Chains A and B, each alone.
Chain A
Amino acid sequence: MSDPTKKPGDEKKNILGVLKDKTAQLKGKLPGVHRPKNLSDKKNSVSNDLKNAFRHINPKKAVWSLIGAVFAIYLLTGLYVVNPGEQAVIRRFGAPQAQAVSEGLHYRLPYPIDTVEKVNVSEVRRADIGMTLPDHLHQPDDAPQAIQLLTGDENIITSQAIVHYKVSDATKFLYNVNGNSEQLVRYSVESALVQAMASTPVDDILSTEKVAAQNSVMALAQEALDRYDAGIQLTAFNIQEIVPPDAVSSAFLDVTAAKEDKETAINEANGYANSLLPQARANANKTVSDAEAYKAEQVSRATGDTDKFLSMLAEYQKNSNIYTADTTKYRLLLETLEKILPNVKMYIVDSANDSVNVKLIDESLSGNSSIGIGN
Chain B
Amino acid sequence: MTKEKHAVKPKLFLAIGAVLVLLLLTLVVYQVDTTEFAIVTQFGNPVRVVENPGLQVKLPDPIQSVQRLDKRVQVYQTTSIELLTLDKKSVSLDYYGTWKITDPVTFLKTVKDKVGAESRLLDVFSSSLGVQLGKYNLDQLVNTDQEQLQLDTILNDATGYAKERAAEYGIEVVDAQIRVLNFPDANKQSVYDRMSAEREQMAQKYRSEGSEEAAKIRADAEKEQQVILAEAYAQAQQIKGEGDAEAIRIYGEAFQKDPAFYEFIRTLETYEKTIDGNTTLILPSTAEILKYLSGSQN
Write the residues of chain A forming the contact surface with B, with a CB cutoff of 8 angstroms.
11, 21-22, 25, 91-96, 112, 147-156, 175-179, 183-184, 187-188, 190-191, 194-195, 197-201, 224, 227-230, 244-245, 247-248, 251-252, 254-255, 257-259, 261-266, 268-270, 272-273, 276-277, 279-281, 283-285, 287-288, 290-292, 294-299, 301-303, 305-306, 309-310, 312-313, 316-317, 329, 332-333, 336-337, 339-341, 343-351, 354, 356, 358, 361-362, 365, 369-375
Query: Which label, helix, strand, loop or mixed, suits the secondary structure of the A interface?
Result: helix
**Chain B residues near A (Cβ < 8 Å):** 1, 4-5, 8-9, 12, 31-35, 52-55, 70, 72-75, 77, 95-96, 98, 138-139, 141-146, 149, 151-152, 174-175, 177-183, 188-189, 191-192, 195-196, 198-200, 202-207, 209-211, 213-218, 220-222, 224-225, 228-229, 231-233, 235-240, 242-244, 246-248, 250-251, 253-255, 257-258, 261-262, 264-265, 268, 271-272, 275-290, 293
Q: What is the distance, in angstroms, from A11's C-beta to the closest C-beta of chain B?
A: 8
B290 touches A348 (CB 8 A): yes
A156 to B193, CA, bound (A): 11
| A91 close to B34 (CB less than 8 A) | yes
In the complex formed, the residue of A with least CB distance to B209 is A262
Contact, CB under 8 Å: A94 / B32 = yes
Complex Cα gap A259–B215 (Å): 17
Partner of B281, one of A244, A255, A268, A344: A344
Ordered by A's residue number, 20 sampled pairs between the chains whose C-beta atoms are within 8 Å are A22-B8, A93-B31, A93-B55, A148-B182, A154-B142, A178-B70, A191-B95, A195-B178, A288-B236, A294-B239, A298-B240, A298-B247, A302-B247, A306-B255, A344-B276, A346-B280, A372-B284, A373-B281, A373-B287, A374-B287
* Cβ contacts under 8 Å, B283 to chain A: 346-349, 372-373
The answer for the CA separation of A182 and B101 in the assembled complex, in Å, is: 23
Q: Count A-B pairs with CB separation below 8 Å.
A: 367
Return the chain A residue nearest B93 by Cβ. Answer: A194
Task: List A contacts of B73 (CB < 8 A).
Answer: 176-178, 228-230
Asked if B272 and A285 sit within 8 Å, CB to CB, the answer is: no
For B199, the chain A residues whose CB sits under 8 A away are 248, 251-252, 254-255
Q: How far is the CA of A336 from the CA of B188 in the complex (A)?
A: 105
Cβ contact within 8 Å between B34 and A272: no
New A-B pairs, 5, CB < 8 Å, besides A155-B198, A294-B239, A351-B284:
A198-B142, A200-B144, A255-B203, A270-B217, A302-B247
Could you tell me the distance between the alpha carbons of A370 and B233 in the complex, rounded to whole angstroms?
A: 40
CB-CB under 8 A from A303, the residues of chain B are: 250
- Let me know if B218 and A269 touch, CB within 8 A: yes
| A343 in contact with B239 (CB, 8 Å) | no
Chain A residues in 8 Å Cβ range of B288? 375
Q: Contact between B240 and A361 (Cβ–Cβ < 8 Å)? A: no
Bound together, the chains give a CA A9 to CA B181 distance in angstroms of 89
Nearest-CB distance from A52 to chain B (Å)? 21
Chain B residue nearest to A200 in the complex (CB): B144
- How distant is the Cα of A197 from the Cα of B178 in the complex, in angstroms? 12
Q: Say whether B254 contacts A309, CB under 8 Å.
A: yes
Once the chains bind, are A302 and B250 in contact (CB under 8 Å)? yes
Q: Are the C-beta atoms of A251 and B144 separated by less than 8 Å?
A: no
